[in-house]
Structure 1
Amino acid sequence: MTPPQPPHRRPSQPFRSPDLGQPDAARNRQEPPAGAPAVRVYDQDGPGLRTEIREAVVVLVAVTLGGVLLGLLWLWLAPRVPLVGIASGNSWAVYPKETEGEQAIGIDGTFTLLGLAFGAVSAVTVFLVRRRGGVPLVVALCLGGLLGSLLAWRLGVALGPEQDVIAHAREVGEGVTFPAPLTLGAPGALLAWSLAALVVHLGLTALFGPRDPEPYGPYEETSAP
């Protein structure tokens, strides 16, 4: 009489004995394969909150101080609105020399374009220095752009033409053309730097930023027949 033969097993699926007496959670838990590299905590969580806050403060100060350069460029590149003063007795009246001129729009447009350029440059610089990014870094970049825009606006106004147009008209004389003070007719131009920095930095991080490592290397799990 022929003795019974053991069940046939495929070579690709080795036989595994069930873990008798073990709870379901222990049987279903996946163990890392032999030789898998250990995962360090800072590989996934970044350098730490204190380091990120310290870097964010540095970025905030550096971006804010960039507003000085923005203000000087705005003062240099922005068009001037020509004004003319007319005396009527002891009183003076100031009128635009060109009623249909577009210099006022050009002042706002120049500030907006410069803000967009500064936002893009600051975002690229911050990304090259700190590729991993992080919420504190993005917040510092946007807040610094807003503070830098405010600094540039106030600096351009302070260093620009005389604010008292009546006194300026009396100083230059009746009928003499003089430039109007620098003003921002569109307050939204102050947000151009922050918006450009946010969009560019998020785009660079999404495209070229580092990816989180896998906990373990790829392996194939064998199962019982």
Structure 2
Amino acid sequence: MTAAQTPHENQPPHKNQPPDEPHRQQDAPAQGPAAAADPAAGPELARELREGVLIALAVAVSGVLLGVLWAWLAPRVPLIADTRNVYLKNTEGEEAIGADGTFVLLAFGFGVLSAAVVFLFRRRGGIPLVVSLAVGGLLAAVLGWLTGMWLGPTPDVVAHAKQVGAGVVFDGPLRLQAKGALLAWPIAGMLTQIALSGLFGPRDPEPDGLMVPDWSGHHQQPPTAD
């Protein structure tokens, strides 16, 4: 007589992987993203944000020069007063429109120049840089607008008319009729930065070989265990 064998002893030896092997295979992909993460991504982003803040401040401060040039080059609006009221000397004059046009042209030129200078020193683009140029350009346009009005003729028209006397022509205050002109600097800066980055910016390395997808439908199947 032979000793009785347990069902576990009657089964043939397994050729499959040990029980703990699938667990190791499932844990392996979870370590992929952590291993593939770039440890320098955080400091690089922080450095770009610091540079963006500094660029925005530098561009905003340059708006003072815009205001000086606007107050110097913008046409004046001639006014004349009598003993009671103040009137436009030329009722069909276009001096007010000329002041807005002068501001737009100067702001657009400053936007192109500021973006070109930043690209010349940095030689690369990026979203933080474009945003910093847009924010800095808007702040510069507002600062230039306020500076130009401050440097121009006094906004107190009644006091100015009393000072010069009745029947004497004097310059009206420098004003920006179309507030949309404040967007000329940031738009010009963004467009110039994008254009320069596309034309002269660094290029991504191209792959060594051309990868052609397999459209035949014949895919090699991995061998299955018996």
TM-score range, shorter chain: 0.7 to 0.9
Shift of 1:217: 3.9
Which sections of structure 1, spanning at least 5 residues, go unmatched?
A: 1-40
Matched residue SS, 2:139: helix
Alignment of 1:158-197 (within 5 A): 158-197=150-189
Aligned to 1:28: none
Aligned to 1:115: 107
**Separation in structure 1 between the aligned mates of residue 205 and residue 39 of structure 2, nearest angstrom:** 11
| Residues 139-198 of structure 1: per-residue CA shift (max 9 Å, x gap) | 010000000000010111112101110110000000000000010111110000001111
Report the CA distance shift for 1:99/1:53 in structure 2 as closer, same or farther (over 3 A). Answer: same
Shift of 1:58: 1.1
Moved over 6 A (4+): none
Report the CA distance shift for 1:219/1:97 in structure 2 as closer, same or farther (over 3 A). Answer: closer
Tell me if 1:208 matches 2:204.
Answer: no
Aligned to 1:52: 48
Aligned to 1:75: 71
Which sections of structure 2, spanning at least 5 residues, go unmatched?
A: 1-37, 213-226
Alpha carbons 1:42, 1:48 under 8 Å: kept: no
TM-score (norm 2): 0.73
Paired residues in the alignment total 181
**Separation in structure 2 between the aligned mates of residue 182 and residue 220 of structure 1, nearest angstrom:** 63
Report the CA distance shift for 1:61/1:116 in structure 2 as closer, same or farther (over 3 A). Answer: same
Matched residue SS, 1:83: strand
**Separation in structure 2 between the aligned mates of residue 42 and residue 199 of structure 1, nearest angstrom:** 32
**Residue of structure 2 aligned with 1:101, choices 90, 93, 99:** 93
**Separation in structure 2 between the aligned mates of residue 47 and residue 193 of structure 1, nearest angstrom:** 31
Alpha carbons 1:85, 1:95 under 8 Å: kept: yes
Tell me which protein shows more helix as a share of its residues. 2
Matched residue SS, 2:205: coil
**Separation in structure 2 between the aligned mates of residue 133 and residue 62 of structure 1, nearest angstrom:** 17
Matched residue SS, 1:118: helix
RMSD: 2.8
Aligned to 2:124: 132
Shift of 1:206: 1.0
Alignment of 1:145-156 (within 5 A): 145-156=137-148
Aligned to 2:30: none
Higher relative contact order (CA 8 A, sep 6+): 1
Shift of 1:69: 0.3
**Separation in structure 2 between the aligned mates of residue 209 and residue 189 of structure 1, nearest angstrom:** 30
